[in-house]
Structure 1
Amino acid sequence: MPNYKKLYTDIISHKNPKKWEECSFILAKEELTTLDIINLNEIIFNNTDKEITRFNQQHKSYDKNAIINMLTHQQVNKLNNTQLAIRFKLSRNSVAKWKKKYTL
């Protein structure tokens, strides 16, 4: 598994030093989760090009812990599947499938 902490620290220090304050609380963690990495990507790159966003979205993958965190976030914030899908840029079908598989 890549050392994401070092990777993102290098990216911020070389390309976007202005973003250091926004990312420091995430990079201060012992281990980065999948959701942390996604949040770092959004903060650093903040890509608005729809084609690039769509391409990147097709190649995301989530581990079991990330899925459970998202479903917990849904319960805590009382979101429906559509709202959760919008928040994390997922498809509603993925959320429904995960809820069936990882019933909390």
Structure 2
Amino acid sequence: MERCRIFLEKDRLMSYDVLKLSGIITGKDDHEAISFNARHKSYDSNTILRILDHQKKYKCSNLQLANYFRLSRNTVTKWKKMFL
């Protein structure tokens, strides 16, 4: 509950915040849930930019970033071409 409080006290949640909350609440997902969620994700431009900022901040490769956020490497590359 304490770890979720930061997000729940916000006036407006972004997609990135919902992803973080979901990870906190569920902990480790099973393979079936991960597969289902991967097919139904959508990101707004603010969330995409925050994900790309995460890559810069922690000096991750596209593969590392994709694994961390459970994305495709091709998605990360596409976002970088579109937004950077």
TM-score past 0.5 threshold = yes
Of residues 64, 75, 79 in structure 2, which corresponds to 1:94?
A: 75
Deviation at 1:52, TM superposition (A): 1.6
Pairwise CA RMSD of aligned residues? 1.1
Q: Which has the larger radius of gyration?
A: 1
Indicate which of 41, 51, 54 corresponds to 2:22: 41
Unmatched 5+ residue regions in structure 1? 1-19
Structure 2 residue ranges without an equivalent (≥5): none
Mapped partners of 1:65, 1:48: distance in 2: 25
Alignment TM-score, normalising by the size of structure 2: 0.92
Q: Measure how far apart 1:87 and its partner are.
A: 1.1
Instruction: Give the length in aligned residue pairs.
Output: 84
Q: Name the counterpart of 1:14.
A: none
Structure of higher RCO (CA pairs closer than 8 Å, 6+ residues apart): 2
Structure 1 position 90, deviation (Å): 0.5
**Which residue of the partner structure matches residue 49 of structure 2?**
68
TM-score for the superposition, normalised by structure 1: 0.75
Q: 2:37 aligns with which of 53, 56, 77?
A: 56
Instruction: Note the C-alpha offset of 1:47.
Output: 4.7
1:78 corresponds, among 34, 59, 68, to 59
Decide whether the 8 Å contact of 1:47 with 1:53 is kept in 2.
no
